[in-house]
A and B are shown apart, each in its own frame.
Chain A
């Protein structure tokens, strides 16, 4: 069966319902995983595991959520994402819309806020398309 975007969204709602204990109606496309749905770091691992199982895909470390950025001075300086870091992230994570980051607060601690329910749907859509 070929899944369309609505099917993927519906399954992502179930994943987030199970992983975060949120109600499905809170899981809107624009909802940020951290700022709106209260996800913490371990929840990201939980979400990765559940997406792998639900959609029968294999997700590599750092593929869905950014990891180990702070170790690289070229990407992060004074706790903020550099231009080079932003270019790298946009290239590596086509599923996330980093627009709000572009001209706004680039604190690395705010990076999680950019990851929305839509980011997950985009990711699965790209992943299933191969």
Chain B
């Protein structure tokens, strides 16, 4: 099963914006291998994956998930602060441009520290997604390359967005 790096979608403006959160837990074994200054840290690559899943779902909903969407490029990713166990991460993704070939998204990453109320801006990520069917028709790609697969339905359903999936 593909790992999910978001827990819940909390806001969605169709074709424009999608916001998701992730609660970071010590139960995630990978955290135990990534310790900085004595503190477990969520790797930046996984923060990027969380944004790719958030923005990928946003891009996917524009076509009812009929198009195969693949993360094609990390245009830019900057981080100012680490995320650790107990923190909540919020990904806020916006579509800058989309057409039949692909989409460009930009987004912010915020965190709320354990026990805190305030959100702190910790990063910005720009991504490019490709609509595979329109770019490389006939070429076969492994299923795990896709931004969303069946298990994403779980998140969409839990977040009240099941209506955006075309069956």
Binding site for B on A (CB under 8 A): 18-19, 21, 41-43, 45-46, 49, 52-53, 61
Contact = CB atoms under 8 A, between A and B. Distances in A.
Contacts of A61: 99-101
B96 A46 contact: no
B97 A42 contact: no
8 contacts: A42-B72, A42-B73, A43-B73, A46-B73, A46-B75, A46-B128, A61-B100, A61-B101
Contacts of B75: 18-19, 46
B130 A49 contact: no
B47 interface: no
A2 B76 CA distance: 31
User: Which of A18, A45, A61 is most buried by chain B, counting CB atoms within 10 A of its CB?
Assistant: A45
Nearest to A60: B99
B99 A42 contact: no
Contacts of B128: 42, 45-46
Chain B, interface size category, equals 10 to 19
B134 to A, nearest CB: 9
A61 B102 CA distance: 11
A83 B42 CA distance: 56
Nearest to B72: A42
Interface string B97-129: 101111010000000000000000000000010
Interface string B73-103: 1011000000000000000000011011110
A18 B76 CA distance: 8
Contacts of B104: 45-46, 49
A19 B76 CA distance: 9
A42 B96 CA distance: 16
A57 to B, nearest CB: 13
Contact of B130 (A19, A21, A45, A53): A45
A42 to B, nearest CB: 4
Contacts of B102: 42, 45
B100 A49 contact: no
Contacts of B130: 42, 45
A45 B104 CA distance: 9
A61 B99 CA distance: 9
Contacts of A45: 101-102, 104, 128, 130
* Closest 10 pairs between A and B when the two form their complex, measured CB to CB: A42-B72, A49-B97, A42-B73, A49-B104, A45-B102, A42-B128, A46-B128, A45-B101, A42-B130, A46-B104
